[in-house]
Structure 1
């Protein structure tokens, strides 16, 4: 795994990493369908960060925006609606994207 990280990054992030397969067009053109996205488990995130968020039984990849006591999950593709969560449920935000990999075919 260490060698793979050195290949994928110019430095190895200090956080625990996990990867998610991106299925669908909700983050297109930033993240194409069938991309592999690497996320770092971090204790904080900033508005507009691309995050992985657990909703029901699946993880979704969206930009996150904090507004008052709401967390808004915003897709890159304007054809899709935003998702609204309560801010008091931070365990649902799995963490920040640090790398996207896909084939250009």
Structure 2
């Protein structure tokens, strides 16, 4: 598969396909990480200047590891990635509160 190359002109630079993010996160922890893209990229309303909002759920990752992993991905995509990291326990507590 060809590496993603962002366009340098135009209003919209799509972020689609394989970016290497999942592989990089897995190599940082050797564990699976739930990673969800949300915001303008997820709704396909992003522009060339939009950041990529990324929700991560993992007990194995630290924010320091996340930023280390994201730096080369940001350079490859030509976009800033804005991560939010939650632990698995936090997500379970939040889910129970929503149900109860």
TM-score under structure 2 length normalisation: 0.26
Name whichever structure is richer in helix by fraction.
2
Question: Normalization by structure 1: what TM-score?
Answer: 0.25
Higher strand share: 1
